[in-house]
């Protein structure tokens, strides 16, 4: 499973990039607003592309099919790594079908049930993004949707990749990996939590103390 960051915060992306384990980034208007950099969305996405050499998702906002198609064409020209995000409603599905035929890569966003993923895959989307945390928020098991989509895509050999999104804590990452999601996109705080364990910190301290003691005995 690939690890992507779900943020438009350039400092977070730079901080995570140094480990060489983050291979893509997802953004949306809310994340752009949260980053509050004052920069234009296109400039933010281009800066992300200069840091991470992998797919970078940028969201379309048009409400009608022609508008979505035009926006997707425009956004896809920003950079070769840019993937356009289109939400899965009726207009979104038609737009996904039209732009995918032109070779534009689509990350289908706001997926909450397997039928939406099945439709997006048949329409030619490169990725589907089930929103796990938002389903958990309303008392449904979000990860169950990831599992179902993976099972369906595997059974019918659909090439669309399952991108587990709206992950809120490190256990979601483990669960996404066990569900065989192709990608997990996560906030920087969740990424940081992946490395942490109190026994690791305590173990490092103990080894240091013991090394100091051993060095004194030797001297």
Q: How far apart are CA 180 and CA 146, in angstroms?
A: 8
Give the interface segment with ligand G3P, choosing from 25-33, 35-43, 73-81, 90-98 (CB under 6 A): 25-33
Q: How far apart are CA 139 and CA 200, in angstroms?
A: 34
Contact 28, 45 (CB under 8 A): no
- Catalytic-role residue among 34, 85, 178, 216: 85
Count of H helices and E strands in the chain? 11, 8
Query: Least CB distance from residue 22 to ligand G3P, whole Å?
Result: 14
| Catalytic residue check, 85 | yes
- Options 8, 9, 26, 96; binder of ligand G3P; rule CB under 6 A: 26
Q: Please, which residue, 28 or 98, has the CB nearer to ligand G3P? A: 28
Q: How many residues bind ligand G3P (CB under 6 A)?
A: 11
How many other C-beta atoms lie within 10 A of the C-beta of residue 73? Answer: 14
Question: Does 131 contact ligand G3P by CB under 6 A?
Answer: yes
Give the interface segment with ligand G3P, choosing from 60-68, 99-107, 113-121, 127-135 (CB under 6 A): 127-135
Q: How far are the Cα atoms of 133, 142, 171, 190, 206 from residue 139, in angstroms, in the given order?
A: 10, 9, 17, 21, 43
Question: Does 79 contact ligand G3P by CB under 6 A?
Answer: no
Query: Least CB distance from residue 187 to ligand G3P, whole Å?
Result: 7
At 111, list the tokens.
């997926």
**Residue 160 CB-half CA count within 13 A:** 34
Residues that bind ligand G3P (CB under 6 A): 6, 26, 28, 31, 129, 131, 133-134, 165-166, 185
Hey, which residues are catalytic here? 85
């Amino acid at each position: 499973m690939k690890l992507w960051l779900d943020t438009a915060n350039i400092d977070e992306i730079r901080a995570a990039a140094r480990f060489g384990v983050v291979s893509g980034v997802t953004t949306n208007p809310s994340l752009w607003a949260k980053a509050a950099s004052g920069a234009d969305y296109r400039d933010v996405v281009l800066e992300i592309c200069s840091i991470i050499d992998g797919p970078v998702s940028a969201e379309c906002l048009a409400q009608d099919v022609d508008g979505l198609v035009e926006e997707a064409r425009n956004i896809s020209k920003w950079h070769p790594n840019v993937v356009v995000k289109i939400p899965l409603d009726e207009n979104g599905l038609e737009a996904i079908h039209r732009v995918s035929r032109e070779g534009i890569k689509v990350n289908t966003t706001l997926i909450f049930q397997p039928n939406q993923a099945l439709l997006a895959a048949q329409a030619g989307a490169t990725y589907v993004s089930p929103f796990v945390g938002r389903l958990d928020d309303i008392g449904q098991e979000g990860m169950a949707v990831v599992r179902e989509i993976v099972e369906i895509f595997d059974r019918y050999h659909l090439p669309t990749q399952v991108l587990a999104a709206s992950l809120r804590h490190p256990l979601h990452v483990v669960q996404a990996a066990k569900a065989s999601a192709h990608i997990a996109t996560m906030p920087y705080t969740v990424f940081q939590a992946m490395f942490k364990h109190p026994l690791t910190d305590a173990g490092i301290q103990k080894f240091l103390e013991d090394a100091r003691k051993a060095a004194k005995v030797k001297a």
